[in-house]
Amino acid sequence: MIRESDGGDTEQVTNRPFSTRQTGGATVSLMRDDCGFTLLEVLVAMVIAAAMSAVLLETALTGVRTVRDAGAYETAAALARSHLALLGRDPADDAADQHGADGPFDWSVRITPEAVVDRGTGIVNRFIHRNESRVTLYAINVVVSWRSEGHRRELTVATQRVGFAPPPRAEFP
């Protein structure tokens, strides 16, 4: 819609797509198109919308991945706790390395003696206490591993327990 004035009080409204205006003695032709957006404007809007959608999709997928990984870590921690609970009171009874698989999770338990209480020095003390078990500190490592998105994930739980080592092999005939 174009409003034209002749300088007086009357104004004429026309619906012509083109209008002319005189400025400083020159006539300028103006094209007026109020039908909508140009193709370039629509394309720019679509590119912006696509970029924002891609960012939102990536954020959502990262959230889903994080939740899935957190669930796998929680399951691995529960599996490690259950294998520690199965060891019993004396780690010396289960001193051999153990390993296995539970679903997608592989696990291993390694028990190694770290320190042994010495009953005393000298040949007499060794001879007197040769058939007694000794208080021993054991290192226990439980490793639970699994594959997630092509990568190997691993959870290690390390602890120590006190137990009784069996008597040493007889050194004396």
- 23, 55: one domain: no
Of 143, 79, 82, 135, nearest in space to 111 by CA: 143
| Pair (106, 139) in one structural domain | yes
Task: State the total domains in the chain.
Answer: 2
Q: Are residues 43 and 20 in the same domain?
A: no
Residues 53, 27 share a domain: no
Does 45 share its domain with 11? Answer: no
- 10 is a domain residue: yes
pTM given for the model: 0.59
58 and 99 share one domain: yes
* DSSP letter for each residue of the chain: -EEEE-SSS-EEEE--SEEEEEETTEEEEEE---S---HHHHHHHHHHHHHHHHHHHHHHHHHHHHHHHHHHHHHHHHHHHHHHHTT-S-GGGG-S-EEEEETTEEEEEEEEEEEE----SSHHHHHHTTTS-EEEEEEEEEEEEEEETTEEEEEEEEEEEEEEEPPPPP---
pLDDT digits (tens, 9 = 90+) for 115-131: 887 766 666 566 566 66
98 within domain boundaries: yes
Q: In this structure, is residue 171 part of a structural domain?
A: no
Q: Is residue 172 part of a domain?
A: no
Domain shared by 120 and 158, yes or no: yes
pLDDT (tens place) for every residue of the chain, 173 residues total: 555 555 555 555 555 555 555 556 666 555 555 678 899 999 999 999 999 999 999 999 999 999 999 999 999 999 999 988 888 777 777 667 889 999 999 999 999 888 887 766 666 566 566 667 778 888 999 999 999 888 999 999 999 988 877 766 655 55
3 state SS for 24-64: CCEEEEEECCCCCCCHHHHHHHHHHHHHHHHHHHHHHHHHH
Domain assignment of residue 173, yes or no: no
Residues 13, 97 share a domain: no
Domain span including residue 48 = 39-165
Any domain includes 81: yes
| Domain co-membership, 56 together with 115 | yes
In a domain, 101, yes or no: yes
CA pair distance 4, 90, nearest whole angstrom? 102
In this structure, are 124 and 145 located in the same domain?
A: yes
Residue 87 lies in a domain: yes
**70 and 18 in a common domain:** no
